[in-house]
Amino acid sequence: MSINALEIRELRKTYKGGVNALKGVSLNVKEGDFFALLGPNGAGKSTLIGIITSLVNRSSGEIKVFGDNLFSNPSAAKSHIGLVPQEINFSLFEKVMQIVVNQAGYYGIDRITATKRAEVILKELRLWDKRNETSRKLSGGMKRRLLIARALVHQPKLLILDEPTAGVDIEIRRSTWEYLKKINASGTTIILTTHYLEEAENLCRNIAIIDHGEIIENSSMKALLEKISSETIIADLEKPLKQIPYSSDYLISSIDEHSLEIKVRDSQGINDLFSWFNHHEIAVRSIRNKSNRLEELFMGMIEGKNEQ
Amino acid sequence: MSNSNFNKSATALLTIVRKEVVRFFRIWPQTILPSAITMSLYYVIFGNLIGNRIGRMGDVPYIQYIAPGLVMMAVITNSYSNVVASFFSSKFQRYIDELIISPTPNYIILLGYISGGIARGCTVGFIVVIISIFFTSFKIDSIAITVSVVFLSSLLFSLAGLINGIFARKFDDVSIIPTFVLTPLTYLGGVFYSIALLPPFWEKISQANPIFYMINAFRHGMIGKSDVEIAPAFIIIIVITTVLFISALALLNKGIGVKQ
Ligand SMILES: Nc1ncnc2c1ncn2[C@@H]1O[C@H](COP(=O)(O)OP(=O)(O)OP(=O)(O)O)[C@@H](O)[C@H]1O
Ligand SMILES: [Mg+2]
């Protein structure tokens, strides 16, 4: 039996001032997993990560990291974890190289080893040219990559990333994904929060959804996506359409004269939809998904929950 | 503690100390220069210009009387400012998180920051000693007393600076204590005069000022006599240092000011 990378039991957090950010969260993350923690703004993701990384005091509950209790054996538990925080938190005046090497020092890694490792990581993350710059002179995307470099220098077994690709361009986002896939493949367990559901869908094998401080879903990505019962498709039309012909099978609404929104249930084929278009002599230029599948599911869950 | 844990803690400590020392040397015009200039002015004005008219304090020339006080003043303010400013910045810019997420025990974080304060206090103190050589003959009566008083005072005020840094929420909080508490206490602690000159009531009040003991213990080490007995002075300094050390460590353990 393989050991859990992370075990959280009944974790609760009430901030000073009374915000009940976590209301009894329990969660397991398996060793080697690539795990997505999703939830809307203010759901409690950063709070949960804050407690796991000792930046936030818990109100109650237990946490084990690779079997080591975070509260009774903090130095062992902490040495397993690497953190990419949501907010940039470098010293304004420290240079890139120093930031990475010093972080290694805090984990007890001697300076010679740390310098060698920093070189490898900074090259991999394409920051080597910037090693003698102060962090404030880096672009936003470079700062994000430096956060990752700093989190990895002590070779943690568990890497936790709180929105690692917020505000970076498509290319850097994709190269970051590739990099994360690579280190996951080499054995590092990864937990990631993100608001780009495409990111979670592409990378993660297991997923938990948190809302208002509670886990409302926890399963494999595959099982979750299978729950999706319908997809929304948008069709761009060749010619403006004044009136939508009636359909007994599909829920169709118009976005504007040139595009339609169509809800397609899983049991229905897309072929029938094309027959319908042909039948009514509607010329379709292109079709696309309104949003990605996870996004639709996610919205459904959060809305369903909030209506209760 | 296992041997490997000890080595790791030692490496972490070294990392913090190096970072602290690099910091204050990098910004030397803010950290080292001001004391050097201020103390030179004190020597010129109080030592040479006015001092010559004052004549002797007790039985030493005035400039030689104030020299130890000026050195201590530099040590105290620099130790304190270094730790309060550095710790507050690390909180303000949130890079203190780098340390908090790491396995570095709190007592190592504490030792690291106060070592930085002691390094700066002693560096500037040494520079002021060098400057004073240009103005007065500088003899030391007891090296052991002199060095240990400087070290202990520097330690004490580094700890006080750390506690101030832990509680500070805004930049103003960093300068309030140095301006409104530290500076007055230093001036009133007998840098420029012997409290024997004061009316009995104020002489008694002055004895409640901890800085008074440090300045005079240091003066004792340098010129062989002062307003205080050396043993009680040491006891007072050590007791205060111990209390501050325990308090600072307890605050760090609770995560006051750094954890939500
Ligand atoms: N330091 C704090 N003091 C008081 N309340 C806080 C603090 N930090 C967070 N909260 C509250 O706790 C709740 C959860 O916040 P948290 O930052 O964990 O959400 P999140 O899921 O990370 O959101 P986002 O996606 O916006 O980053 C929110 O209601 C927030 O206002
Ligand atoms: Mg967050």
* Domain boundary assignment for chain B: 3-254
pLDDT tens digits along B17-56: 999 999 999 999 999 999 999 988 988 888 778 877 887 8
By residue count, chain B amounts to 260
Checking if the pLDDT of A28 tops 90, the result is: yes
CA distance B183 to B180: 7
Counts of helices then strands in chain B (DSSP H, E): 13, 2
pLDDT tens digits along B190-222: 888 888 888 888 888 888 898 999 888 988 898
Looking at ligand 1, which residue's alpha carbon is closest to its atom 1?
B260
Tokens for B169, please give them. Answer: 């929420």
CA distance A112 to A268: 62
Secondary structure (3-state) at A207:
strand
- The interface predicted TM-score (ipTM) is 0.90
Residue A16: list chain B partners with CB under 8 A: 260
CA distance B233 to A122: 53
CA distance A100 to A94: 10
pTM exceeds cut of 0.90: no
Checking if the pLDDT of B57 tops 80, the result is: no
Max avg pLDDT among A48-57, A133-142, A226-235: A48-57
CB contact under 8 A, B103 and A87: no
- CA B231 to each of CA A165, B211, B215: distance values in angstroms, whole numbers, following the listed order: 62, 15, 14
Place of tokens 């307890």: B250
Q: Which amino acid is located at B183 in the chain?
A: T
Looking at ligand 1, which residue's alpha carbon is closest to its atom 4?
A15
pLDDT at A290: 75
Taking the CB of residue B171, how many other CB atoms lie within 10 A of it?
11
pLDDT at A291: 65
Label residues B24-40 b or e (16+ Cβ within 10 Å = b): beeeeeebbebbbeebb
- Chain A stretch 28-57, residues whose beta carbon is closer than 8 A to a beta carbon of chain B: 50, 53-57
Checking if the pLDDT of A306 tops 80, the result is: no
Side by side, the strands of the sheet bearing A34-38 are A81-84, A158-162, A189-193, A34-38, A206-211, A214-220
Checking if the pLDDT of A307 tops 50, the result is: no
pLDDT at A102: 97
CA distance B16 to B114: 10
Q: What's the helix, strand, coil split of chain A in %, to 5?
A: 35, 30, 35
Query: Which chain B residue shows the shortest CA-CA distance from A78?
Result: B103
Is A87 in CB contact (< 8 Å) with chain B?
yes
Residue B13: list chain A partners with CB under 8 A: none
Q: If you average pLDDT over residues A135-150, what whole number do you get?
A: 93
Counts of helices then strands in chain A (DSSP H, E): 10, 14
pLDDT tens digits along A34-59: 999 999 899 999 999 999 999 999 99
Query: Which chain A residue shows the shortest CA-CA distance from B18?
Result: A102
CA of A47 to the centre of ligand 1 (A): 6
* pLDDT tier, B253 (very low <50, low <70, confident <90, very high otherwise): very high
Torsion of CA A30, A34, A35, A36, to 10 degrees: 180
Residue-range domains of chain A with CATH: 4-225 (3.40.50.300), 230-307 (3.30.70.1560)
CA of A163 to the centre of ligand 2 (A): 7
Ligand 1 surroundings by CB, under 6 angstroms: A 15, 17, 19, 21, 39, 41-47, 86; B 260
Checking if the pLDDT of A198 tops 90, the result is: no
Checking if the pLDDT of A171 tops 80, the result is: yes
Interface of B with A (CB under 8 A): 5, 7-9, 11-12, 14-16, 19, 23, 26, 89-90, 93-95, 97-105, 255, 259-260
- Chain A stretch 132-151, residues whose beta carbon is closer than 8 A to a beta carbon of chain B: 150
